[in-house]
Structure 1
Amino acid sequence: MALTPLDIHNKEFKRSFRGYDEDEVNEFLDQVIKDYEVLIRENKELQNQLNAIQERLDHFSNIEETLSKTIIVAQEAADEVKTNAKKEAQLILKEAEKNADRIINEALSKTRKIAMETEELKKQASIYRTRFRTLIEAQLELLSKEDWTSLERMEVEQP
Structure 2
Amino acid sequence: MPLSPIDIHNKEFGRSWRGYNEDEVDDFLERVIQDYEGLIRTNKQLEEDIVRLNERLSHYDSLEDTLGKSILVAQETAEEVKNNARKEAQLIIREAEKNADRIVSEALNKARKVAIEMEEMQKQAAVFRARFRSLVQSQLEMMDSGDWDSFDKELARREASLAESGL
Cα distance in 2, alignment partners of residues 85 and 147 from structure 1: 89
Secondary structure of the corresponding residue to residue 64 of structure 2 = helix
Q: Which residue of 2 aligns with 1:35?
A: 35
Deviation at 1:9, TM superposition (A): 1.6
Gaps of 5+ in 2: 150-167
Instruction: State the match for 1:148 in structure 2.
Output: 148
| Aligned equivalent of 2:63 | 63
In structure 1, the partner of 2:109 is: 109
CA distance in 1, matches of 2:142, 2:3: 155
Structure-1 residue corresponding to 2:80: 80
What's the CA shift for 1:110? 0.9
1:2 Cα offset (Å):
1.9
Alpha-carbon shift at residue 35 of structure 1 (Å): 0.3
SS of equivalent residue, structure 1 residue 13: coil
Separation (CA, whole Å) in 2 of partners of 1:116 and 1:147: 44
**Equivalent position amino acid for 1:51 in 2:** V
Within 2, Cα distance between the matches of 1:102 and 1:147? 65
| 1:112-123 equivalence runs, <5 A | 112-123=112-123
Task: Indicate the structure whose relative CO is greater, using CA pairs within 8 Å and at least 6 residues apart.
Answer: 1
1:60-106, CA deviations, whole angstroms, 9 ceiling, x for partnerless residues? 33222222222221221111111101110011011101111111111
The yes-or-no answer on 1:127 pairing with 2:132 is: no
Partner AA of 1:94 in structure 2: R
Residues 19-76 of structure 1: CA distance to partner in whole angstroms, max 9, x if unpaired? 3333322222111111000110111122222222222222233222222222221221
Secondary structure at 1:144 match in 2: helix
* Aligned-partner SS, 2:73: helix
Amino acid at match of 2:48: N
TM-score when normalising by structure 1 = 0.84
Quote the Cα distance in structure 1 between the aligned partners of 2:147 and 2:109.
57
Matched AA of 2:62: N
Gaps of 5+ in 1: 150-159
In structure 2, C-alpha distance between the alignment counterparts of 1:111 and 1:42, rounded to whole Å: 100
Which region of structure 1 is more displaced relative to structure 2, 59-68 or 125-134? Answer: 59-68
Deviation track 1:128-150 (CA, whole Å, cap 9, x = no partner) reads: 1011111111222222224239x
CA distance, structure 2, for counterparts of residue 108 and residue 147 of structure 1: 56
1:16 Cα deviation from its structure 2 partner: 3.0
1:109 is displaced (CA, Å) by: 1.1
CA RMSD of aligned residues (A): 2.0
